[in-house]
Amino acid sequence: MTISVRPTASFVSFGSIRALRWVFAATVLAAMAGAPITADARVARTAGPGAFDGIWNVQFNTRAGNCGSNSFPFTVSGRRVSSAGGGKVTGGISPSGAVSVSVSVGASRASGSGRLSGNSGGGRWSGIISGDSCSGTWQASR
């Protein structure tokens, strides 16, 4: 059984390049909720509150479209996911590590899901960034 939380976020007054980077990063993070369950993920099911707390470095890789690859920090605190480097990113994480995030900046929108387990995680993301339809995978570590 997969638990999915689907909050949304919006950005206000960001430069277009910085905003697009945040959209891309948030999309990758959201992709984590769809990652396959590994032995580490099974252990995470029994993890206590705050087991995923901390700053996570998320590497976004584009597989389709012209959005490039980037790396961004995110903060997990309790069941909330937010930006660790400025801007406003919101999302959620279940006790089992399933993550889902949606972000919009101007006309750019992205979402992703995946799973965190121990000190790493991964998943998929997709979105329309500066008019380009893009999708790919993300990897996270802390």
On whether residue 10 sits in a domain, the answer given is no
On whether residue 2 sits in a domain, the answer given is no
What's the CATH code of the domain at 31?
2.40.128
On whether residue 5 sits in a domain, the answer given is no
How many distinct structural domains can be found in the chain? 1
On whether residue 66 sits in a domain, the answer given is yes
On whether residue 74 sits in a domain, the answer given is yes
On whether residue 102 sits in a domain, the answer given is yes
User: Residues 88, 110: contact at Cβ < 8 Å?
Assistant: no
Reported as a pLDDT band with limits 50, 70 and 90, residue 119 is very high
Chain segment 16-70, per-residue pLDDT in tens: 445 455 555 555 444 444 444 444 444 445 456 789 999 999 888 999 999 888 7
On whether residue 99 sits in a domain, the answer given is yes
On whether residue 83 sits in a domain, the answer given is yes
Rounded to an integer, what distance in angstroms lies between the CA atom of residue 98 and that of residue 35? 8
Which structural domain range is residue 32 located in? 16-141
Structure tokens at 40: 């580490």
Indicate the DSSP class of residue 32.
Answer: G
The identity of residue 110, as a single letter, is A
Q: What is the overall mean pLDDT for the chain?
A: 74
